[in-house]
Each structure stands twice: as structure tokens, then as C-alpha cells.
Chain A
Amino acid sequence: GENVEQHPSTLSVQEGDSAVIKCTYSDSASNYFPWYKQELGKRPQLIIDIRSNVGEKKDQRIAVTLNKTAKHFSLHITETQPEDSAVYFCAASIAGTYKYIFGTGTRLKVLA
């Protein structure tokens, strides 16, 4: 069945450094890739998304890149701040549906 792998599972960076989280997906027909941020005890919140007809999308300090050939997509956070500390989930759409398969999450810690 469809699968999304996410790496790393934990990531610690110094404040101001960049963080990169990578995901791979198995369904070549997936065409929508959202990223969610989940702070401790809170709901997952959509922070950025990308569609399959675009290779890169940026929103202030966060960006997402997509390589359809390799079935990879990545989240890039620049100039990290302590408030970026959270668990980040990638997801990929299941072709022909409005459902998403989620990755296993990356716990990001930004050290002040």
C-alpha cells in the first residue's frame, strides 16, 4: 500500500541555523504534499503545502521542495527560532482521493 517515510525522527539545531526534514513517498500518482506542525499537546497545523506541478514553494522562513522523479519532498526552515520547536509531519495525497498518508514525524528542537 501507499507509504510515506520521514527522516530524521529527531533533529536538534542551534538557534539561527537551518533545519531540513526529508520525506519519500511510494505512490507516483500522489499530487499534493502538505506539511503540519504539532506543538506539544496541540493540534497539527498546516504550515505549507506543495502541488505536484511545482518544484519549490517558499513562505518567509520555510520552504518546501519536491522531486517527483525521485519521489522526495523536503521541508527547509531557515534562521530557526525556539518557537520552531515542535513535531513536524509530512503527508502525501492518495491518488484519486482527498486522503493523506502521514509520515512518522520529526521532533525538532531549536537550542537557544
Chain B
Amino acid sequence: EAGVAQSPRYKIIEKRQSVAFWCNPISGHATLYWYQQILGQGPKLLIQFQNNGVVDDSQLPKDRFSAERLKGVDSTLKIQPAKLEDSAVYLCASSLGGFGSGYTFGSGTRLTVV
């Protein structure tokens, strides 16, 4: 099966600029997650979608981060304005959503804010 697609792979921006990341999950996977992975740490959940609805965005810094999943398929994550501490790898993952459904991660977008 095709994997989770993410783009771009790398992005360098200046602080206070905006940036957007795109994710296309595995076909048929109802649940989609965005994780932030800071260098040397484990992935931290930012937001979870079930189809096109938000299930959990409690860890999303909503003053600067936003995400949407139109039509229950592709998703975009936006940061506006970016801060230095936003430098991280942003991982998208999808799953069937049932109990014991392991995630399939995308390759991630490495964001560097300078």
C-alpha cells in the first residue's frame, strides 16, 4: 500500500514568517494525527482528526498553529507566525482508528526557524 505522503521534506523560514505543511494519509484511514518531534525527544501529539472532524487539539498552540482536514482526506498544518522554538520535525500519521491500530507515519517535514 502507498504510505503517508508529506511535503515539503525541509523548510527554512525566518521567525515571524508563516509556513504550511501538507499530508496525504493512507487511503481508507479515518484517523489522522499531527505530531511535533523536537530533536532528541519523542513525538508529541498536536492534533487528531477523525474523518474531517477534530477529536483532540488540546496540545495545539492555537494562537499560532492551525490545522484542517477538508473532505476527510488530506490535511494541512499551518504556523503563523513562527517562533524559534517551533524548529522540529512535523510528522503526520494515519491509522484505521480501531483499538490496537498502529500508526503509519509519514517521512515528516523538518522545519528550521532562524
**Interface of A with B (CB < 8 Å)?**
4, 6, 31-32, 34, 36, 42-46, 49, 51, 89, 91, 97-105
A residues in contact with B106, CB < 8 Å: 43
- Please report the C-alpha to C-alpha distance between residue A100 and residue B95 in the assembled complex, in whole angstroms: 12
A residues in contact with B107, CB < 8 Å: 42-43
- Please report the C-alpha to C-alpha distance between residue A91 and residue B108 in the assembled complex, in whole angstroms: 19
What are 30 residue pairs bridging A and B, where the CB atoms are less than 8 Å apart in the complex?
A6-B42, A31-B99, A32-B99, A34-B102, A42-B107, A43-B91, A44-B43, A44-B105, A45-B105, A46-B102, A49-B102, A89-B43, A91-B42, A97-B55, A97-B56, A98-B31, A98-B97, A98-B98, A98-B99, A98-B101, A99-B56, A100-B45, A102-B42, A102-B43, A102-B44, A104-B40, A104-B41, A104-B42, A105-B40, A105-B41
Question: B100 and A51: CB pair below 8 A?
Answer: yes
Question: A89 and B42: CB pair below 8 A?
Answer: yes
- Please report the C-alpha to C-alpha distance between residue A97 and residue B48 in the assembled complex, in whole angstroms: 10
* Nearest residue, chain A, Cβ from B110: A41
Q: What's the tally of chain B residues with a CB closer than 8 Å to chain A?
A: 26
**Interface of B with A (CB < 8 Å)?**
4, 31, 33, 40-45, 48, 55-56, 91, 95, 97-108
Question: B100 and A46: CB pair below 8 A?
Answer: no
- Please report the C-alpha to C-alpha distance between residue A30 and residue B40 in the assembled complex, in whole angstroms: 25
Closest CB of chain A to B12's CB: distance in Å? 16
B residues in contact with A101, CB < 8 Å: 45
B residues in contact with A104, CB < 8 Å: 40-42
